[in-house]
Amino acid sequence: MAITTTTESSSSSSQLNIVQNECNSYPTTNVLFGFGAGIALIILLLLVNLIVMLSKKRS
């Protein structure tokens, strides 16, 4: 019983290490570029919304 539990824990820890290595090898430049593009799109949509609201108030 004790031997099986130790092998299970070691296999689960190796799986966790594999997942961590995959996360670390993922390029951060793509993440930053996607994050920046998303923020830019949100700001652009907010600006369009403000312009439409101001034009409706004036008319």
Q: Which of 36, 56, 32, 33 is nearest to 44 (CA)?
A: 36
What pLDDT score does 6 carry? 46
Question: Any idea which of 20-24, 39-43, 54-58 has the lowest mean pLDDT?
Answer: 20-24
Residue carrying structure tokens 């830019």: 40
The mean of the pLDDT values for the chain is: 76
Residue type, 57: K
The pLDDT tens digits of the residues spanning 14-39 come to 666 666 666 666 667 788 888 999 99
- How many whole angstroms separate alpha carbon 46 and alpha carbon 23? 33
Stronger pLDDT, 42 or 10, i.e. the higher one: 42
Q: How far is CA 28 from the centre of its chain?
A: 10
Residue type, 34: G
Pure H helices in the chain: 2-25, 28-58
pTM (two decimals): 0.48
